[in-house]
Structure 1
Amino acid sequence: MILVETLMLRVDTDNRWSYRHALTRQRRGESPDEAARRLGGVEPQDPDTVVHSTSWRYEPDSGVVLTYVVCPDPAPWLPAVEAPELEIARGRAPATPSPERVALANVVAHAVRHLGLLMAEDPVVSRVLSRHPAIALALEPAGAPA
């Protein structure tokens, strides 16, 4: 089974990340990208929002979870959860990459870190997120802890 998860990210006035989380199964004939846009409320032609596949993980009870980041949050008026300290979950050894436990906060941290990499390396993502000054500032190396 494959689940599609979206993290709608925003930056609050104190330069802290907040998120909304949604999870769904794909509808018949729907791609994971389409499911992520549906969850995030983003149209394919939206020029001001980044929708990007950021990670996947296996959960014994759920199967494979494909995680997408949606930034900026297209509905910033809706309640969101403030992200705690951004800490990446890691495996114990080089040949055992899966961590023993992955909390949603770890997934959020990975998504923010991935956005920071895209901001530096992907001109399309950089162009979009640069139009959102608080997000661009928060994704600078000092603003996006590893």
Structure 2
Amino acid sequence: MNGQVSVEVLPIRVDAAGTWRYRHLVTRLGASESPDQAARRGAGVQAGDASTVVHSTSWRYRPQGQIVLTYVVCPDPFPYLPGTELESFRLARGSGPASPSPEHVDLDNVAAHALRHLAYLLDHDPVVGAALAGDVVVARALESLSRELIVVH
């Protein structure tokens, strides 16, 4: 895997009780494919879909030389598929201001970061905000989250 780029996709959804669930998909870039295209392909979202947000939310480096680009997809276009409940909104943090990469990052950390990123975009990006506001349950749940944009590596 040395020098490889993986595209990680987290289709995410929330129920009426405010419980967030996500699925974890990983794909590689196809020939002549951008990371955005790979994320849409992996999630089953068409480029012209105006009701689903596909957003690059973070990246991280793995010691094997692999770069992981993470995309959040909201709302999950296939909400009937099994998903993992997000139990903690704990963010991964580095040990200091000049050491931003956390020692350990799990998928809940990445999903929590992605949700905070979407909450920020709901208020600050008119195009993404309009798409998210189209799902009242998603918009209401995102409004309750911190508007803090924190980078998870």
What TM-score, normalized to structure 2? 0.91
Name the structure 1 match of 2:15: 12
> 1 CA distance for matches of 2:109 and 2:88?
9
Alignment length (residue pairs): 144
Is 1:59 aligned to residue 62 of structure 2? yes
Q: Which moved more, 1:11-20 or 1:28-37?
A: 11-20
Counterpart of 1:105? 108
* Deviation, structure 1 residue 85: 1.3
Which residue pairs with 2:25 in the alignment? 22
Q: Deviations over 1:68-88 (max 9, x none)?
A: 010000001111111111111
**Over the residues paired in the alignment, what is the CA RMSD in angstroms?**
1.1
Residue 80 of structure 1 is matched in structure 2 by: 83
1:62 to partner: Cα distance: 6.0
Identity %: 53
2:6 to 3, 8, 33: 3
Work out the CA distance in 2 between the residues paired with 1:78 and 1:22.
Answer: 12
What secondary structure, in the 3-state scheme, does the structure 1 residue paired with 2:42 have? helix
Runs of 4+ aligned structure 1 residues displaced above 6 Å come to: none
- Where structure 2 has 5 or more consecutive residues not aligned to the other structure, the ranges are 149-153
Tell me the residue number matched to 1:115: 118
Query: Aligned partner of 2:36: which letter?
Result: D
Matched residues in 2 for 1:74 and 1:90: separation?
30
Distance in 1 between residues matched to 2:65 and 2:52, nearest whole Å? 28
Deviation track 1:65-111 (CA, whole Å, cap 9, x = no partner) reads 00001000000111111111111100011000000000111000100
- Quick check: 1:3–1:62 contact (8 Å CA) kept in 2? no
Q: Distance in 2 between matches of 1:45 and 1:94?
A: 39
Q: Following the alignment from structure 2 to structure 1, what is the Cα–Cα distance between the partners of residues 23 and 45?
A: 14
Give CA deviations for 1:1-55 in whole Å, capped at 9, x if unaligned: 1100000010022101100110011111111000000011000011110001000
Give the equivalent residue in structure 2 for 1:144. Answer: 145
Return the letter of the residue paired with 2:62. Answer: E
Helix, strand or coil: the match of 1:139?
helix
TM-score between the two structures when normalised by the length of structure 1: 0.95
Q: Which amino acid aligns with 1:144?
A: L
Determine the C-alpha separation between the residues in 2 that align with 1:117 and 1:3: 25
SS at match of 2:10: strand
Judged with a 3 Å threshold, the aligned counterparts in structure 2 of structure 1 residues 128 and 138 are, in CA distance, closer, same or farther, namely same
* Equivalence for 2:151: none
